[in-house]
Amino acid sequence: MDQQRARWRTVSGRRPSMGDAALVAALRCEDEGALREFFVRFRPSLLLAARRFRVDPGDRDALVDDCLADVAVHLMVSAAPPPRSLPAYLARSLRNRVLNERRARTRAERRLGEGLAEPTDGALAACCSEHAVRSSTGSPEASSLSPALQRLAGALEAPLTEEDRVLVVWMSHLVPHAEIAAWLGITPKAAAKRIERLRERLQRAALVHVEAARGDERDELLIFLGRAALAPGPAARFAAARGAVVPEEANA
């Protein structure tokens, strides 16, 4: 018992300077100070994320507090190793909570006959830039994506990992690289490289989809991607796709 009390005091005394793994260990020891540190450390960044996710100002505090409380309880009772990055883990948790609430609200409104426009797909925006999306679809609040762009968005989103999806949300909301780096626990330079690699991967996936398209859909996608700032590799492939003659056109 004395050893347990001594261990409790040792863990409690290190709260302010704890790393993420040590903080999770303290939470599992039911250290109330660690719980306070958990909220103080991560609440400001989650409030900022909630604002970027376009959560109503009046709902942000409750949403973030609920998210932090649920994650804290999960970390306390789980025997699994702590997340590799607590900021990224919390970002995913908040994002999933926001998306689930929006889906539930949309389903309820549809049942009441109040149709809502679909939001612009994040992967599409991250791949092709906000300007390209707005130029092709108008205001996201006012109109939905065309069928061709919806299929492109689906092709881009399918292979993404959960971490990719979180990064795509940040990219589509134009979150600064420094903030993304802080959330991921890496340097801004490393964050910029990760973002660029993901953007290029999305662009290559978009071009594969375009190369398989035909007719008016292909033309629409080429116009859309023509507004994007493509990386050198995808840019060369796009030029080849734009100049290629598809079999249907050759036989016309």
Domains of the chain with bracketed CATH: 2-111 (1.10.1740), 122-244 (no CATH)
Consecutive sets of 10 residues in the chain, 252 residues long: mean pLDDT of each?
44 59 87 88 91 87 93 88 86 85 70 48 56 43 68 82 77 76 78 88 86 86 79 80 58 48
pLDDT digit string (tens) for 127-170? Answer: 654 444 444 444 444 446 788 888 888 888 877 777 787 777 77
User: Would the pTM count as exceeding 0.75?
Assistant: no
pLDDT (0 to 100) of residue 61: 93
3-state helix, strand, coil in the chain (%, to 5): 75, 0, 25
Contacts of 3 (CB under 8 A, 6+ apart): none
pLDDT digit string (tens) for 201-219? Answer: 888 888 888 888 888 888 8
In whole angstroms, how large is the CA radius of gyration of the chain?
Answer: 23
Residue 85, sorted as left (phi over 0), alpha (psi -120 to 50) or beta, turns out to be beta
